[in-house]
Structure 1
Amino acid sequence: MVIAGLVLAAIAGLIHIYIFYLESIVWTGDRARAIFGLSSREEADATKELAFNQGFYNLFLAITIAVGIAAFALGSQTVGATLVFVGAGSMVAAGLVLLISTPAKASAALKQLVPPLLGVAALATGLSL
């Protein structure tokens, strides 16, 4: 279960790296605008600074998980698990905020929160056995 939890957390990290890319690198492009429901280039330009900053939050959460997985693999299980729980738990919390505050974005919220939630559950189960 520990390995499953770490793999699911890694998948969550990869999803958040992709979100970072969309928000901080290509925010005004056609694909990012379509994914985030921005109707025009002007709307994307007006929110570019906010998206840029938010993208880095996503990147930092992914980095936290990656460092946690590396620490776990190198034998520092307590430090590694703690970092994975913090990174993935923050992703779950952010996804819940999105789900509650903007129910119309439920699909995006679930994509953001389900993989890290499953990772946290599997890791916690594996560590308790």
Structure 2
Amino acid sequence: MSLASILVALIALLHLYILILEMFLWERPAGLRAFGNTPQKAALTKVLAANQGLYNGFLAAGLVWGLWLGNEGTQIFFLLCIAIAGIYGGLTAARKILLIQTVPACLALALLALGL
């Protein structure tokens, strides 16, 4: 397994974890801590968070699908989606999203481009 494939798999796991936080743990202590929410804010935004979680699950599924098929084009497409979503989130929600989503996706894209 290549270094790029390992990183892509880790990014898929990260997005699966984000799905769990946003869909199932949003109002629980782990979700509140992860997103810096109060119980009141979490209660008001739980439907939106669940929707975001579902999208993160689709991103994870796309990466796993690309790995399963051995199709770098599929992996590149979903990594670009993650990088762009991370840039938007970093600019509009919280800067740490750039480090959590965009940087790993860009690193994986670089590894794929280098054939590593």
TM-score computed with the length of structure 2 as normaliser: 0.92
List alignment gaps of at least 5 residues for structure 2. none
Q: Which has the larger radius of gyration?
A: 1
Q: Which residue of 2 aligns with 1:100?
A: 91
For 1:21 and 1:109, locate their aligned partners in 2 and report how far apart those are by CA, in whole Å.
20
| CA RMSD of superposed structures (Å) | 1.5
CA contact (8 A) 2:87 2:97 kept: no
For 1:14 and 1:126, locate their aligned partners in 2 and report how far apart those are by CA, in whole Å.
22
CA contact (8 A) 1:92 1:113 kept: yes
Moved over 3 A (4+): none
Deviation at 1:113, TM superposition (A): 1.5
Q: Which residue of 2 aligns with 1:21?
A: 20
- What whole-Å deviation, never above 9, does each CA across 1:42-86 have from its counterpart, x for those lacking one? 2111100000010010010010000100101xxxxxxx1111011
Match of 1:112 among 92, 96, 101: 101
Higher relative contact order (CA 8 A, sep 6+): 1
Q: Which residue of 1 aligns with 2:110?
A: 121
Q: Which residue of 2 aligns with 1:63?
A: 61
Deviation at 1:108, TM superposition (A): 3.1
CA contact (8 A) 1:13 1:63 kept: yes
For 2:8 and 2:102, locate their aligned partners in 1 and report how far apart those are by CA, in whole Å.
11
For 2:80 and 2:54, locate their aligned partners in 1 and report how far apart those are by CA, in whole Å.
17
TM-score computed with the length of structure 1 as normaliser: 0.84
Aligned residues: 116
Q: Which residue of 1 aligns with 2:37?
A: 38
